[in-house]
Structure 1
Amino acid sequence: MKNLVGMFAGILFGAGLALSGMTDTQKVIGFLDFFGAWDITLMFVMGGGLLVSFPVYQYMKNKPRPVFDEDFHLPSKTIIDKRLIGGAILFGIGWALYGYCSGPAISSLAYGDMNSIIFVVTMAAGMLLSKLLPTADKA
């Protein structure tokens, strides 16, 4: 049941990204272009996401466990370090230059566009390479 719910949630999330325009790279770049022809429409997508997620988060944060798992999987590392800042900068640069972040990029694979495939492959390679970088607990 847990896997079925996860699959349904993933399909729903991907369809929502596609229908909202988050998989349209030009629309995303237009949204991130504050000083040019700024396209504010994706602000409503983010606002809609907050309207749904905020009350659910408030409800679930006091529960002893999630519905379909034994534990909540929260990050154990809470410090802001160079690795986190560097990753955030790379994420922002990639999003601004190409118009994709990880969720919409993976959703866009359904279109079969070669640029999307290349983006996701290089994104995955970057994730794998980041595992080779030293972390604060190993330094």
Structure 2
Amino acid sequence: MVKIHLLATVIHDGKTLEKGHQIEITAPQAHRLVNLGVAEIIESSQVDNPTDISNWTKKQCEAELTSLGISFDPKLKVADLRDLILKAREGDDEHTDVSLMSREELEQKLTELAVPFSGDSSDDVLRQLLLDELDEDNE
């Protein structure tokens, strides 16, 4: 189990959880919320993998980017910073992180995958729908 701190209001397991709440959830659930940029990991009972940056704090990400000589906007969310690190490590310019997709890109991808969505849904809801669909495709 992983303890997280919510950086935004989210709907998790059918419950609305306000920004600032701390909850304990499974590692995959935690990493999904972290990748969306709406949570950060506080404590994990999982064995840390030094190459796994999914639970790094914003300060850790900033330090790594600085050490790699990569300039970045300090206003970026932790998920965006992690993506920059992954891109630098992989050298993959075509890698796209769902958390960095624009609303237009999200809507286009959901349409391509024939996933129904409402036009008045928030960007975070669209990201969650896409992540859920991509997870189903990988199973």
TM-score normalised by structure 1 residue count: 0.28
Kindly name which structure, 1 or 2, has the bigger radius of gyration based on alpha carbons. Answer: 1
If each structure's helix is expressed as a fraction of its own residues, which one has the higher value?
Answer: 1
Greater length-normalized contact order (CA 8 Å, ≥ 6 residues apart):
1
